C-alpha cells in the first residue's frame, strides 16, 4: 500500500470534472481519458468517469438523432467495452464493499447499493445489444425506430444512474471513507489497470 495522501477525495470533485467537461465541449463526439495520476484520488476518479459516461450518453443521443461520426461511434464502442465495464468492476468489487464496511446502519447504504448493482446487471445485458446497434451505424445502416428507442433508453439510463451516484453515493463516500480505506480503493483501482 502506498502512503500518498488521498484525503482530497473529501472535497467535492468539481475541478477535474468541470475541466474535463469544458474540454469535451469542443468535440461532442469525444470521450477524453482521465489522467492516470487521478487514481491517487479514487473518489475524484470515479466522479470523472461519471462525466465521461455523460459524454457517452450525449453521443448516444446524437446517434439516436441520426447523426453519424464514425470515429466518435468507434470511440463510444471502445468506451462501453472497456472503461465503462472497468468502472462497474471498480464499484462492485472495491467501492461498494468498502462502503458497506464503513457506513453506519443509518446511511441505509445496503439498499442503495442493491439498487445500483441491479442497474449494473441491466447495463451489462444492454451493452452487448448496444454494440451491435452501433456497429450497424458504423456500417452505414440507418437505425429503425425500435433501435432509436433502445439507444435513447440506454442513454437515459446511464444519466439517471450516474446522477444518483453523484448525488447520494459519492457524498456518503467522501464523508465515511477514511484515509486507509481511500488508499485501499486507490490501490485496487490501479491494480485493475496494470
Residues that bind Fe ion (CB under 5 A): 91, 165
From the CB of 138, what's the least distance to Fe ion, in Å?
27
Q: How far apart are CA 75 and CA 84, in angstroms?
A: 12
Residues, the chain: 194
**Closer CB to Fe ion, 52 or 75, in the complex:** 52
State the minimum distance, in angstroms, from the CB of residue 92 to Fe ion. 8
Those residues with Cβ within 8 angstroms of residue 78's Cβ, 6 or more apart along the chain or in another chain? none
Q: How far is the CB of 47 from Fe ion (least distance, A)?
A: 9
Nearer to Fe ion (CB atom), residue 44 or residue 91: 91
What cell does 131 get? 454494440
Distance CA 193, CA 37 (A): 12
> Which residue, 40 or 91, has its beta carbon nearer to Fe ion?
91
Q: Which residues contact 120 (CB under 8 A, 6 or more apart)?
A: 88, 91, 92
Q: How far is CA 112 from CA 34, 99, 100, 108, 109, in A?
A: 27, 11, 10, 7, 5
Cβ nearer to Fe ion, comparing 69 with 126 = 126
Supply the minimum distance, in Å, between the C-beta of residue 113 and Fe ion.
10
Amino acid at each position: 500500500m502506498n502512503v500518498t495522501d488521498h484525503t482530497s477525495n473529501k472535497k467535492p470533485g468539481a475541478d477535474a470534472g468541470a475541466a474535463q467537461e469544458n474540454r469535451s465541449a469542443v468535440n461532442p463526439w469525444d470521450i477524453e481519458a482521465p489522467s492516470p495520476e487521478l487514481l491517487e484520488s479514487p473518489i475524484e476518479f470515479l466522479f470523472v468517469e461519471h462525466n465521461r459516461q455523460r459524454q457517452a450518453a450525449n453521443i448516444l443521443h446524437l446517434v439516436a438523432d441520426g447523426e453519424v461520426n464514425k470515429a466518435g461511434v468507434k470511440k463510444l464502442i471502445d468506451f462501453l467495452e472497456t472503461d465503462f465495464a472497468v468502472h462497474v468492476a471498480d464499484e462492485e468489487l472495491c467501492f461498494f464493499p468498502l462502503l458497506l464496511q464503513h457506513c453506519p446502519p443509518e446511511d441505509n447504504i445496503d439498499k442503495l447499493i442493491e439498487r445500483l448493482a441491479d442497474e449494473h446487471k441491466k447495463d451489462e445485458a444492454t451493452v452487448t445489444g448496444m454494440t451491435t446497434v452501433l456497429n450497424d451505424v458504423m456500417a452505414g445502416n440507418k437505425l429503425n425506430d425500435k433501435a432509436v428507442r433502445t439507444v435513447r433508453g440506454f442513454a437515459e439510463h446511464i444519466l439517471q444512474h450516474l446522477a444518483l451516484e453523484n448525488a447520494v453515493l459519492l457524498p456518503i463516500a467522501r464523508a465515511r471513507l477514511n484515509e486507509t480505506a481511500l488508499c485501499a480503493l486507490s490501490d485496487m483501482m490501479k491494480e485493475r489497470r496494470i
